[in-house]
Amino acid sequence: AVRNRLLSYIDQLFQSGRNSIYYDALFTKFSDDFLDCQMYDAEMLKNYLAYINAGKYYIEKNQLTRELGVTADSQDEIREFLKEQGAPVETDVICANLSHIPQDRVSQILGSNLEFVRNSKSEYFHADVLDLSEDELENIVEYMQATIRKQLFISGTELMNAIRVRFSNIYNNYTNFTDIGWSDALKYKLGSRFSFRGNIISDRYETLSMNDVFANLAASS
């Protein structure tokens, strides 16, 4: 019975368009069932799949695949999924929809690539979901540059207040984005044009931190 459910689940994933399935993810999915079978880790599952596979799928190092040597890029799959959603998504929902990827790998990819923006503690969106036109982005850039020319920096708080007031037509399209989400999405889009250090944004060639801002303030007072 477990064997049939396992093979049926694998078939469903591949028929849905997945190219590969991590053994770790499969083991987690069926871990309760495997207890009765004395299967205790993903390596044992890999060996079991090799035994029952009968040449239907390919046994790669970390993944079961439909085609020989063709493994999926987990980062690509997460990117595609988040872009399709077009809004912030709970981590649990991402993991549930990409159940062929181990949860710890999903978390690692989300946390180590700037294109995946943390909107809140357990919620992410792809930076391109903040779909600004070239003119909209340049208007924001011009405001940032003008402020930086006057005071050497602009704080993330100042920028968000300006976006809410000056660029309300843009802001109102993305009210489900938190200030942190907005800030990190802009950091991804504008990281080559400005320096982002915590809550301080400055010229890319004159990186300032909060301590620098306080020191400059003290020196000028």
Residue 215, pLDDT score:
65
CA 14 vs. chain centroid, Å, equals: 23
Categorize the per-residue pLDDT at 209 as very low, low, confident or very high, splitting at 50, 70 and 90: low
Q: How far apart are the first and last CA of the chain?
A: 77
Q: Supply the DSSP string of the chain, one letter for each residue.
A: -HHHHHHHHHHHHHHTT-SEEEHHHHHHHTHHHHHTTT--SHHHHHHHHHHH-TTSSEE-SSEEESSTT----HHHHHHHHHHHH-S-EEHHHHHHHTTTS-HHHHHHHHHH-TTEEEEETTEEEEGGGS---HHHHHHHHHHHHHHHHHHSEEEHHHHHHHHHHTTHHHHGGGTTS-HHHHHHHHHHHHTTTEEEETTEEEETTS---HHHHHHHHHHH-
For 106, the token pair is 């999903």
Position 221 pLDDT exceeds 70: no
Residue 217, pLDDT score:
62
Residue 109, pLDDT score:
96
Rounded Cα–Cα distance for residues 49 and 12 (Å): 16
Residue 219, pLDDT score:
60
Q: What is the pLDDT of residues 126-149, one digit of tens each?
A: 999 999 999 999 999 999 999 999
Rounded Cα–Cα distance for residues 151 and 20 (Å): 52
**Is residue 57 left, alpha or beta, with left meaning phi > 0 and alpha meaning psi from -120 to 50?**
beta
Least confident of 37-46, 81-90, 181-190: 37-46
Least confident of 5-9, 65-69, 115-119, 145-149: 65-69
Rounded Cα–Cα distance for residues 89 and 21 (Å): 22
Least confident of 16-30, 89-103, 122-136: 16-30
Q: What is the pLDDT of residues 114-124, one digit of tens each?
A: 999 999 999 99
